[in-house]
Amino acid sequence: MHLVLFDIDGTLVDSDEFDSELYVQAVREVLGMEINNDWSAFRNVTDGGILDEIMDNAGLKVDRLRVHTEVKAVFVELVSEYLHEREGRLPEIEGAGAFLAELESVPEVSMALATGGWEETARMKLRAAGLDRYSLPLASGSDAFTRVEIMQIAEKRALGGRKPSRRTYFGDGVWDKRASEELGYDFIAIGDKVQHPARYPDFRRGKAILSRLLGAFALVCCTAVFAGLAQAQMPEEFFPGGLMFSPEEEEQYMQRYEKAQVRATAEEIYIDQEVMTGASDWTPIPHASATERTISERALDDAERYAEVNNSNAFIVWRNGKIERETYFGSHTRTSPINSFSLAKQVTAFAIGRALMLGDIASLDQPVADFVTEWQGNPWREKILIRHLLDMRAGFYPQVPPQGPTDLISRTFLHPRHDEIIVAEYPVIDEPGTRYEYNNAAGDMVAVLIERATSRRYAEFVGTEIWQEIGAMGGAVWVNRPGGTAHSGCCMLAPAENFLRLAIVMLKDGVREGERLLPDGYVKEMITPTRENPYFGLSIWVAGRYTGRRGFANPDRGMAEILHGEPYLAADLYLFDGNANQVIYVVPSQDLVILRTGLAPPRDENTEWDNSVLPNTVMRGIVKDRRASAPQPR
């Protein structure tokens, strides 16, 4: 049985402001005193506990029972008058009613209310907000002076002495959090008055809250009720970093942060790089002759035009072992490095595969803590498996717009010791393996893992074990400081052709020129999606069942999604997909790879990038094909 307790004021009912004002007025009328309404300064933030502490601090020698009775009576009257003026109505915290209704229907969940307010006013506010219909067991400030005791009473009334398997408290104040910690409850904060890893502005993101509360069961039981609720555009949690380093490093971090605020390029933010040495015998991939071409000129021209008008710097089509179209735009050439953005994450999947092949890593299911020993003993971090860094199920906090220079999203990307911050501080908000959340931290942890597992620098490892092995040119990776750690999750610099070669090796099941570079079965693992995201495998996106839009973030996050104007024409299509719509499509059934890199395509109310255009345009143009037709979308 999972016991879930709720505070009322500021958690379920939007009553905090007037409740505080009327409480102060009631104390003034009875005791003739002005009091501080900063409730965090009181030991017990309950109606009775605050009143007792006021009398203690003032040294009043009075009949306390009489004072409590009189202040409560005045307060009840003031609340009653306030509600009468508003026709007996109060707003709920947005989405609270729907959330309670859904949770009430979940088997093995028991709910109750635990509020520091007196029972009479608590019930009045619940009734005014329309939340009294749930008839939940209630413990209040009329039962005890401390919140801990109130929560214990609520638990007893809800369960009748049965032992819960898990306990969670929803509240809006630091006192709620303290009581939860003292009793061993999980705590979920509502509103913006308390900093906590699990914090939501209200209940509009009910599906996401239920997913946190109930795990995978929420995906099965709790979809319909929240289908019509407005979803927040981003999670409102905020994680300030605690680790501080030398003044010089903190100053360098702030300089990078300030540059990032004016949309400086990565080249302007980072100056420290390490070289990845490519193949000494590099030669261009051969082109198909006129008689060898299998795709119509018109289809290739149409696809190239689509790439060109969408700010591309490279467009390449490879089929049957040879390139049928290779075009570079602007000043870019075949040897020009591109900023890979998140195409670097696909390189991390190859790096893990090579480390497996070389025996430096035992398996995808090996705990990362075997190498990142700082995570040993941490109940959730030690459960993070190597595969979780690639399939985005590490339990890490998602990639969202940062909320200032102290936010860990900023510090883990821009700080000269970003790796140490990720290892020590990056929030794990879900049990590893139970939820998909896209983030850069998981991608950047691959460099930490590779360096510890192989005792080699990430740049050297990728250059030697990947680029040289596939006959590609070299490049560079950003490092957080000279001699520091690489950013493996983003922004690698390498020619577009390098990424095309990676895709070709994948299409050949990890084999190049007869030599196996990736373990047998590894590519199949890469393109096998998880239950938590049916479109994402080990850093590789798959076609999956058709959906008109698909984003990088968990759909619960309400973040931007990419248009797919029609189903892909081959169900076995998979793709490398990164920021700025840099994509590499791989279609095994057609022995086909299509690459588009560049800056973000233009977007307005009438124009946006469509992920289905390039592959479908090219596939419709195939005119010479002796193979069976490609499998159609499911």
Among 188-192, 260-264, 395-399, 457-461, which is the least confidently predicted range?
A: 260-264
**What's at 304, amino acid-wise?**
E
Burial track 327-357 (b if 16+ CB lie within 10 A, e otherwise): bbeeebeeebbbbbbbbbbbbbbbbbbbbbb
CATH assignment of 266-620? Answer: 3.40.710.10
- Binned at pLDDT 50, 70 and 90, residue 63 comes out as confident
pLDDT exceeds 60 at position 338 = yes
Q: Take residue 372 and report the two structure tokens written for it.
A: 């990142």
- Name 59's Cβ contacts closer than 8 Å, sequence gap at least 6: none
Yes or no: say if 440 and 489 are a contact pair by the CB < 8 Å rule.
Answer: yes
User: Mean of the pLDDT values across residues 551-563?
Assistant: 86
- Binned at pLDDT 50, 70 and 90, residue 218 comes out as very low
Yes or no: say if 237 and 439 are a contact pair by the CB < 8 Å rule.
Answer: no
**Residue ranges in 291-415 assigned as alpha helix (H):** 297-309, 343-358, 386-391, 408-414
- Bigger pLDDT: 402 or 295? 295
Q: How many residues would you count in the chain?
A: 634
Tens digit of each residue's pLDDT (9 = 90 or more) over 508-556: 999 999 999 999 999 999 999 999 999 999 999 999 999 999 999 998 7
**What's at 154, amino acid-wise?**
A
Fold matches, 16-85 and 266-620: no
Q: Take residue 352 and report the two structure tokens written for it.
A: 């893990």
Which parts of 201-348 are beta strand (E)? 273-276, 312-319, 322-328, 337-339
pLDDT score at 192: 81
- Bigger pLDDT: 595 or 604? 595
Rg of the chain (C-alpha set): 29
Phi, psi dihedral angles at 124 (to 5 degrees): -60, -45
pLDDT score at 65: 87
**What's the CA gap between 320 and 209, in Å, rounded?**
48
Predicted TM-score of the model (pTM): 0.66
Yes or no: say if 93 and 202 are a contact pair by the CB < 8 Å rule.
Answer: yes
Phi, psi dihedral angles at 88 (to 5 degrees): 70, 25
pLDDT score at 105: 80
- Binned at pLDDT 50, 70 and 90, residue 237 comes out as low
- Binned at pLDDT 50, 70 and 90, residue 502 comes out as very high
Q: What proportion of the chain, given as a percentage, has pLDDT over 70?
A: 93
Q: Which residue has the tokens 């003026």?
A: 85
Helix or strand (DSSP H, E) at 582? strand 582-587
Tens digit of each residue's pLDDT (9 = 90 or more) over 73-104: 999 999 999 999 988 899 999 999 998 988 88
Axis-axis angle for helices 119-128, 64-85 (nearest 10): 10
Task: Give the bridge partners for 512, in sequence order.
Answer: 515
Average pLDDT, the chain: 89
Integer CA distances (angstroms), 294 to 298, 568, 630, in order: 12, 19, 15
Tens digit of each residue's pLDDT (9 = 90 or more) over 279-336: 999 999 999 999 999 999 999 999 999 999 999 999 999 999 999 999 999 999 999 9
- Binned at pLDDT 50, 70 and 90, residue 212 comes out as low
pLDDT score at 234: 36
Tens digit of each residue's pLDDT (9 = 90 or more) over 108-166: 889 999 999 999 999 999 999 999 887 789 999 999 889 999 999 999 999 888 888 88
Q: Which CATH number fits domain 2-9+91-226: 3.40.50.300, 3.40.50.720, 3.40.50.261, 3.40.50.1000?
A: 3.40.50.1000
**Residue ranges in 374-481 assigned as alpha helix (H):** 386-391, 408-414, 418-425, 440-454, 458-462
Domain positions in the chain are 2-9+91-226, 16-85, 266-620
- Binned at pLDDT 50, 70 and 90, residue 53 comes out as confident
CATH assignment of 16-85? Answer: 1.10.150
Q: Take residue 415 and report the two structure tokens written for it.
A: 């700080």
> Could you tell me whether strands 273-276 and 475-478 are parallel, antiparallel, or unpaired per DSSP bridges?
antiparallel
